[in-house]
Amino acid sequence: MRQHHHLSRGDGQYRQAHRLRSLIFVGATCLALVVVFVLTLMLGDLGLSFADLTAMVTGDLEPKTSFVLQRLRGPRVLTALCAGALLGLAGALFQTITRNPLGSPDVIGIGAGAGAGVACMTVIAPTLAPGFGSAIGAMCAAALVYFASGKGFRSATRLVIVGIGVAALASAVTQYIVIVHLRDAAQQLAAYLVGSLNAANAQSVAVAALALLVLLPLALFYGRDVTMLAMGDEAAAGIGVDPERTRVIAVSISIMATAVAVGVVGPVAFVSLTAPQIARRILNTADVSIGASALTGALIMSLADLAAQRVPFFAGLPVGVLTLGVGGVYLGYLLVRQHQKGSFL
């Protein structure tokens, strides 16, 4: 009895400490997001002043300031925040259901498939919004991975191996279309396919924000069931969770989140891979937190875009180039760790 009481008290203390750490993390991340938001609005030749920020709150803006806020700076930073959050939650869902830190939409080809869908749609129906092409491409890539891996999304090893092949195939389709069919628009499309916020506008903010408002609550609602899958299908079923149904729901939410993000900013690489892992390590927990991953993704994307705009060495680069460089190093680190632990192959 005493031992049971001791374990319960220890478990309660752990939960309390974890809750406190989570609150601190959320508060610090939100504060960092506010700082990045303000810096994005203020830095540069057309940056807003403190007086302009006050006028923004009161709604008494001058025409020039209003133009910078509503057409240039505002849509860009808001799109970065929403798209980053979508990629973060997509990565959290995938990494949880595959029980592997490499199981993100980047690695298994969904992002590349969404980009290929945009490229194809540019040729087939150029008047349609990029979001339609990205959604179709993401679903096709996910379907290929699902069937080619033999066990759906249950085998992490097969998932990653097949996903690399699907990503390569999607990239080949994209390059073919750019070189053969879109020579005149190749430069503009190439920037989009790396991942760029240069074309962000009020419409991209509305699309990304609406998707986030719908998908984030859904992901949080099913978060407990998704987390239970980490124990294995039999254990999850033993406590009343339907593994197949939960996996389909989680993958569907992840695909939709990735498709919307790619539709508004292009296939920005590795945000969905790194955001959940950074959040998990800061929170010091074995579980991947969906909310924390979304916040971390938003911070990564907005920081990368701020660097792409204001840091001299990176100025003018598409935001996807920065995330690709950082994420590539992080992917190599994860691969080495997985190999050392013997859990990759």
The CATH number of the domain where 222 resides is what? 1.10.3470.10
Which residues of 187-272 form beta strands (DSSP E)?
A: none
> 51 in a domain, yes or no?
no
The Cα angle at residue 202 between residues 315 and 42, in degrees rounded to 5: 45
> 252 in a domain, yes or no?
yes
Q: Give the chain's domain count.
A: 1
pTM: 0.85
> 39 in a domain, yes or no?
no
Q: Which residues contact 150 (CB under 8 A, 6 or more apart)?
A: 158
pLDDT (tens, 9 = 90+) of the chain, 345 residues, equals: 444 444 455 566 767 777 888 899 999 999 999 999 989 888 877 777 777 777 777 767 777 778 878 877 889 999 999 999 999 999 999 888 877 777 778 777 888 888 888 888 878 877 777 778 888 888 898 888 888 876 666 666 677 778 888 888 888 888 787 777 666 555 666 666 777 888 788 889 999 999 999 999 999 998 888 888 877 778 888 888 888 888 889 888 998 999 899 888 888 888 988 899 888 888 887 777 899 999 999 999 999 999 888 888 777 778 888 888 777 777 777 667 766 666 544
> 198 in a domain, yes or no?
yes
> 110 in a domain, yes or no?
yes
* 220 C-beta neighbours (distance < 10 Å), count: 15
Residue 101: CA count within 13 A, CB half-sphere: 23
**What domain range includes position 227?**
72-341
> 76 in a domain, yes or no?
yes
> 63 in a domain, yes or no?
no
